[in-house]
Amino acid sequence: MLLDSAPAKRLSCVHLGVGFDKGHLPAGGDGRLRCVRHPLLPRMARKTPRSWEAAQAELRLHAARDFIYATLFGTLPWVAWQGWWVAALSTLLISEVALTLADFVVEDWVRKPLGGIYPGERVMHGLMGVVYGAMLANLSPTLRQWWNAPSELTVSPVPVPDTVRWCMLAMAAGVFLSGVRDLCAAVEVPRSAWPWSPSR
Protein backbone atom coordinates (compact mmCIF):
# COMPACT_ATOMS: atom_id res chain seq x y z
CA MET A 1 0.00 0.00 0.00
CA LEU A 2 1.35 3.42 -0.86
CA LEU A 3 0.92 6.39 1.41
CA ASP A 4 1.16 9.74 -0.29
CA SER A 5 2.30 12.85 1.36
CA ALA A 6 -0.57 14.31 3.41
CA PRO A 7 -1.14 18.07 3.31
CA ALA A 8 -0.32 20.42 6.11
CA LYS A 9 -3.17 21.54 8.33
CA ARG A 10 -3.60 25.18 9.38
CA LEU A 11 -4.62 25.06 13.04
CA SER A 12 -6.06 28.30 14.46
CA CYS A 13 -3.70 30.36 12.30
CA VAL A 14 -0.92 27.94 13.21
CA HIS A 15 0.52 25.57 10.65
CA LEU A 16 0.99 22.05 11.87
CA GLY A 17 2.02 19.28 9.49
CA VAL A 18 0.51 15.89 9.19
CA GLY A 19 2.79 14.02 6.83
CA PHE A 20 3.03 10.55 5.44
CA ASP A 21 6.01 10.48 3.14
CA LYS A 22 5.62 7.87 0.45
CA GLY A 23 6.49 4.82 2.47
CA HIS A 24 5.82 1.21 1.80
CA LEU A 25 3.68 -1.06 3.88
CA PRO A 26 2.89 -4.71 3.26
CA ALA A 27 -0.51 -5.31 1.72
CA GLY A 28 -2.35 -7.76 -0.44
CA GLY A 29 -5.67 -9.52 -0.26
CA ASP A 30 -4.22 -12.81 -1.45
CA GLY A 31 -2.25 -13.45 1.72
CA ARG A 32 1.10 -12.49 0.14
CA LEU A 33 3.06 -9.48 1.23
CA ARG A 34 3.41 -6.87 -1.44
CA CYS A 35 5.56 -3.78 -1.08
CA VAL A 36 5.15 -1.18 -3.79
CA ARG A 37 7.35 1.89 -3.91
CA HIS A 38 6.54 4.73 -6.30
CA PRO A 39 9.99 4.82 -7.97
CA LEU A 40 9.56 1.14 -8.89
CA LEU A 41 6.26 1.73 -10.69
CA PRO A 42 7.80 2.48 -14.10
CA ARG A 43 9.71 -0.80 -14.12
CA MET A 44 6.70 -2.80 -12.93
CA ALA A 45 4.37 -1.15 -15.44
CA ARG A 46 6.40 -1.93 -18.55
CA LYS A 47 4.01 -4.66 -19.57
CA THR A 48 2.62 -2.32 -22.21
CA PRO A 49 3.83 1.05 -23.52
CA ARG A 50 0.59 2.64 -22.35
CA SER A 51 1.02 1.43 -18.75
CA TRP A 52 4.64 2.62 -18.81
CA GLU A 53 3.51 6.09 -19.86
CA ALA A 54 0.84 6.08 -17.15
CA ALA A 55 3.40 5.10 -14.50
CA GLN A 56 5.64 7.97 -15.60
CA ALA A 57 2.65 10.30 -15.46
CA GLU A 58 1.81 9.14 -11.92
CA LEU A 59 5.36 9.78 -10.75
CA ARG A 60 5.37 13.25 -12.34
CA LEU A 61 2.06 14.06 -10.63
CA HIS A 62 3.47 12.91 -7.28
CA ALA A 63 6.61 14.98 -7.81
CA ALA A 64 4.61 18.12 -8.62
CA ARG A 65 2.42 17.59 -5.58
CA ASP A 66 5.47 16.99 -3.39
CA PHE A 67 6.97 20.31 -4.49
CA ILE A 68 3.73 22.06 -3.54
CA TYR A 69 3.76 20.37 -0.12
CA ALA A 70 7.41 21.35 0.36
CA THR A 71 6.49 24.98 -0.32
CA LEU A 72 3.53 24.86 2.08
CA PHE A 73 5.37 23.01 4.85
CA GLY A 74 8.45 25.19 4.50
CA THR A 75 6.79 28.60 4.38
CA LEU A 76 3.49 28.68 6.25
CA PRO A 77 4.99 28.17 9.74
CA TRP A 78 7.40 31.07 9.09
CA VAL A 79 6.01 33.39 6.42
CA ALA A 80 2.81 35.38 5.86
CA TRP A 81 1.73 35.45 2.19
CA GLN A 82 0.18 38.93 2.13
CA GLY A 83 -1.65 40.91 -0.53
CA TRP A 84 -1.28 39.55 -4.05
CA TRP A 85 0.85 36.71 -2.66
CA VAL A 86 -2.45 35.21 -1.47
CA ALA A 87 -3.28 34.65 -5.15
CA ALA A 88 -0.01 32.72 -5.60
CA LEU A 89 -0.68 30.64 -2.48
CA SER A 90 -4.28 30.00 -3.58
CA THR A 91 -2.98 28.84 -6.97
CA LEU A 92 -0.75 26.31 -5.20
CA LEU A 93 -3.65 25.10 -3.04
CA ILE A 94 -5.99 24.70 -6.03
CA SER A 95 -3.23 23.08 -8.09
CA GLU A 96 -2.77 20.47 -5.38
CA VAL A 97 -6.47 19.57 -5.64
CA ALA A 98 -6.24 19.31 -9.45
CA LEU A 99 -3.09 17.18 -9.24
CA THR A 100 -4.71 14.86 -6.70
CA LEU A 101 -7.83 14.38 -8.85
CA ALA A 102 -5.67 13.65 -11.90
CA ASP A 103 -3.63 11.23 -9.79
CA PHE A 104 -6.76 9.28 -8.84
CA VAL A 105 -7.46 8.65 -12.53
CA VAL A 106 -3.87 7.79 -13.42
CA GLU A 107 -3.40 5.50 -10.41
CA ASP A 108 -6.40 3.42 -11.45
CA TRP A 109 -4.77 2.78 -14.82
CA VAL A 110 -1.24 2.18 -13.52
CA ARG A 111 -2.27 -0.22 -10.78
CA LYS A 112 -4.41 -2.50 -12.97
CA PRO A 113 -1.43 -4.74 -13.85
CA LEU A 114 -0.57 -4.85 -10.13
CA GLY A 115 -4.04 -5.98 -9.09
CA GLY A 116 -5.54 -2.52 -8.64
CA ILE A 117 -5.35 0.04 -5.86
CA TYR A 118 -5.36 -1.53 -2.43
CA PRO A 119 -8.42 -0.77 -0.26
CA GLY A 120 -6.21 0.74 2.44
CA GLU A 121 -4.79 3.20 -0.06
CA ARG A 122 -8.29 4.26 -1.12
CA VAL A 123 -9.20 4.81 2.52
CA MET A 124 -6.01 6.84 3.03
CA HIS A 125 -6.88 8.99 0.00
CA GLY A 126 -10.32 9.67 1.49
CA LEU A 127 -8.85 10.61 4.87
CA MET A 128 -6.29 12.87 3.22
CA GLY A 129 -9.08 14.61 1.32
CA VAL A 130 -10.96 15.25 4.57
CA VAL A 131 -7.81 16.60 6.27
CA TYR A 132 -6.98 18.81 3.28
CA GLY A 133 -10.55 20.16 3.19
CA ALA A 134 -10.40 20.93 6.92
CA MET A 135 -7.06 22.66 6.42
CA LEU A 136 -8.49 24.80 3.60
CA ALA A 137 -11.53 25.73 5.70
CA ASN A 138 -9.29 26.66 8.62
CA LEU A 139 -6.87 28.60 6.41
CA SER A 140 -9.57 30.67 4.65
CA PRO A 141 -9.96 33.35 7.37
CA THR A 142 -6.19 33.84 7.43
CA LEU A 143 -6.10 34.19 3.64
CA ARG A 144 -8.79 36.88 3.82
CA GLN A 145 -6.78 38.72 6.46
CA TRP A 146 -3.57 38.44 4.42
CA TRP A 147 -5.38 39.62 1.25
CA ASN A 148 -6.11 42.98 2.90
CA ALA A 149 -2.48 43.49 3.95
CA PRO A 150 0.26 45.09 1.80
CA SER A 151 1.63 42.74 -0.87
CA GLU A 152 4.72 41.08 0.56
CA LEU A 153 6.12 37.86 1.87
CA THR A 154 6.89 38.75 5.45
CA VAL A 155 8.61 36.73 8.14
CA SER A 156 5.90 36.09 10.68
CA PRO A 157 6.46 32.87 12.64
CA VAL A 158 3.24 31.39 13.94
CA PRO A 159 2.83 31.23 17.73
CA VAL A 160 3.69 27.58 18.27
CA PRO A 161 6.64 25.92 19.94
CA ASP A 162 9.82 26.19 17.89
CA THR A 163 9.90 22.40 17.69
CA VAL A 164 6.73 22.40 15.58
CA ARG A 165 8.11 24.95 13.11
CA TRP A 166 11.41 23.07 12.79
CA CYS A 167 9.58 19.76 12.33
CA MET A 168 7.60 21.36 9.52
CA LEU A 169 10.83 22.56 7.93
CA ALA A 170 12.27 19.04 8.18
CA MET A 171 9.09 17.67 6.59
CA ALA A 172 9.42 20.23 3.79
CA ALA A 173 12.96 19.02 3.09
CA GLY A 174 11.86 15.38 3.18
CA VAL A 175 8.91 15.82 0.84
CA PHE A 176 11.05 17.94 -1.52
CA LEU A 177 13.62 15.12 -1.73
CA SER A 178 10.79 12.64 -2.27
CA GLY A 179 9.56 14.78 -5.17
CA VAL A 180 13.04 14.91 -6.69
CA ARG A 181 13.27 11.15 -6.36
CA ASP A 182 9.86 10.59 -8.01
CA LEU A 183 10.80 12.90 -10.86
CA CYS A 184 14.13 11.12 -11.31
CA ALA A 185 12.36 7.74 -11.33
CA ALA A 186 9.88 9.03 -13.93
CA VAL A 187 12.73 9.86 -16.31
CA GLU A 188 14.75 6.79 -15.26
CA VAL A 189 17.74 8.51 -13.75
CA PRO A 190 20.11 5.69 -12.74
CA ARG A 191 19.79 4.55 -9.11
CA SER A 192 16.73 6.73 -8.48
CA ALA A 193 14.85 3.75 -6.98
CA TRP A 194 17.62 2.92 -4.47
CA PRO A 195 17.52 0.97 -2.15
CA TRP A 196 14.61 -1.01 -3.61
CA SER A 197 16.53 -1.86 -6.75
CA PRO A 198 20.28 -2.29 -7.17
CA SER A 199 20.24 -0.95 -10.71
CA ARG A 200 17.88 2.06 -10.46
Assigned domain for 62 exists:
yes
Assigned domain for 199 exists:
no
Cβ neighbours of 124 (radius 10 Å): 18
pTM for this entry: 0.72
Given phi > 0 = left and psi -120 to 50 = alpha, else beta, which region is 8?
Answer: beta
Assigned domain for 135 exists:
yes
Q: Which residue range is the domain that position 10 belongs to?
A: 2-186
Assigned domain for 26 exists:
yes
Consecutive 10-residue runs of the chain (200 residues): their mean pLDDT? Answer: 29 28 34 39 52 81 95 95 97 95 85 80 89 93 96 92 94 95 87 56
Domain count along the chain: 1
pLDDT of res. 156:
92
Written as one letter, the residue type at 30 is D
Assigned domain for 85 exists:
yes
pLDDT of res. 119:
85
Assigned domain for 80 exists:
yes
